[in-house]
A and B are shown apart, each in its own frame.
Chain A
Amino acid sequence: MKRLAIVATLAVLATLPLWVRGTFYVNIASQILLYAIFALGVNVLAGYAGLVSLGHAGLFGVAAYTGAKILTSGYGHVVVDTAALAVTVAAAAVFAMLALRGTGLGFVMITVALGQIVWGVAYRWISLTNGDNGISITGRPRPFGLSLASPHSFYWATFVVFLTAILSMAVFVASPFGASVRGTRDQPRRMNALGYHVWMIRFVAFLFSGWWSGVAGLLYLYYNEFVSPQAVALTASAEALLMVIAGGTGTLLGPIVGAALVVVIKNVASAYIERWNFVLGAVFVIIVIFMPDGLVPGVARLARRVSMVLRSGPRMATTATRDETSR
């Protein structure tokens, strides 16, 4: 059942530009995909490693800014992308070595500090980053000579990257290393006693997370053909976390749903509702209180309850959900 849903969703996404009317919506879809990649990256830590980071926009931004700087210095896209990702992974290593000194709340606060430092550099080190004015780039990459200038072609390129990201996540989750990461989330002390190197597991997970955040950052740069400190602000990290939490941590589908939710609210709803920030915050609050596992598990639970009620009456439903919540 689950597999069918995944295949169906992917089919819908793959053919999206064919049946969606208007470049506005195709662009929204591109944004959803690139933020979904970012959210998947954040989810590696928040969902699978149990490490909540509020500084990941820093890594996202390092990739975007490094890409922009090297591109405007005249290098080709291959060099730019490789260099940007290498720098981002190095930055992730630094982030990890510092943040892993703390646990729980300490980890969060250190990531906030790190994200703010990156933002501070983007905002204030004007000679390097052009400050608030940001850096513009001309032209998107031309993989195999194909132009990505049109919304449709950019969407498909993003979709390919997105597919790669999902695949790598799926492989990671099913792998022994993925199981180790989840183990450190659930019982770090036990894992240590069993013989696992908990710090190293978390460190490598951080690098993996940083890599995909960097990929998303580059996509962001190419989508907008521009990067500014906005992309590195605390609110950007918060939105990424919101995407993960809203969709459901520790699932593959969750971050994607969360990204779609946030991007749609930001872009589409803001055409109808003026105060999208308010809505975003409200959605956040509601989800955290009423569906702490996130939308995907929450909706799944709701769906199960509904089907139970339909099948055998209300009492069945309440006993069932009590069992589930006894985790």
Chain B
Amino acid sequence: MSALAVRGLEKRFGGLRVTAAVDLAVEAGERRLIIGPNGAGKTTLFNLITGELRPDHGAITLFGADITRVPARRRAHLGIGRTYQIITLFPRDTLSHNVMLSLLALMPLRWSPFVRLDRQTALVAAARAVLTRVGLDHLAERPLTQTSYGERRRVEIAMALAQNPRVLLLDEPFAGLSIEERRDVLALVTGIPRDVTIVMIEHDMDVALDFAERISVLHFGEVVMEGTRTEVVAHPRTREIYLGE
């Protein structure tokens, strides 16, 4: 049983087939990289998996359970976590508050109008712990607006890790980062334990290749090639897709 499987997934926008009969299966604990030129439909695929988009055809299963009809807000509770290509954090709040919102999302406490959020010591401590994991605990009380882009990328990952996902989707986690920052994020990501299955989208292959075990190549919404890192890198078609446009 795969951790995450997608069968015959299809999505059209108007006349354009953005996702075309995609079949993908990621095994538990695997590190899968999805690459492809711009417009290949990578982020759309993620949006379909998280439920933010509804597919026209096809099925999505999570550890064998069909989640195709499950609304997006339930999928977080089932163990899917994700980061976004464009940073979508809560700008008016501190890092700690941002992570607390992520932790709170899966707790019944989120409905309580009576208690004080900042007095929930267990929650605050848990947020602190997550920030420590990404190396940002010294900035816990810093407002998000006063952090650097690289720090915000790490907060994005913290938000996803906070929910202890079983499957983690990383959408271009290295975008816009300096070489040093990329190394930090790569270390962070490779340090994630094997009980989390990771699927990463990256457009730029340099850093991502170090991370990947298996690679799926997306082109015009279809999976045109899949294999181990060495197989895909060596294949002439890969260069064709990236250079022969």
Contacts and interface: CB of A to CB of B under 8 A. Distances in A.
Would A and B touch once assembled, by the CB under 8 A criterion?
Answer: yes
Interface of A: 171-172, 174-180, 182-183, 186-187, 189-198, 208, 326-327
B113 A172 contact: yes
B13 interface: no
A183 B88 CA distance: 11
Interface residues of B, number: 35
A326 B106 CA distance: 32
Contacts of B163: 194-195
Grouping DSSP codes into helix (H, G, I), strand (E, B) and loop, the A interface class, with mixed when no group exceeds half, is: helix
Contact of A174 (B72, B74, B105, B117): B117
A177 B73 contact: no
Contacts of B139: none
B54 to A, nearest CB: 13
A14 B105 CA distance: 40
Given A176-B110, A177-B111, A326 B145 contact: yes
Nearest to B50: A193
B113 A196 contact: no
B18 interface: no
Interface of B: 50, 52, 72-74, 76-77, 82, 84, 88-92, 97, 100-102, 104-106, 109-118, 120, 145, 159, 163
A175 B76 contact: no
Contacts of A175: 112-117
A327 B144 CA distance: 9
Contacts of A195: 73-74, 76-77, 105-106, 163
Contact of A176 (B52, B77, B88, B112): B112
Given A177-B110, A183-B90, A187-B90, A197 B115 contact: no
Nearest to A196: B105
Nearest to B78: A195
Given A174-B118, A175-B112, A187-B89, A192 B52 contact: yes
A18 to B, nearest CB: 34
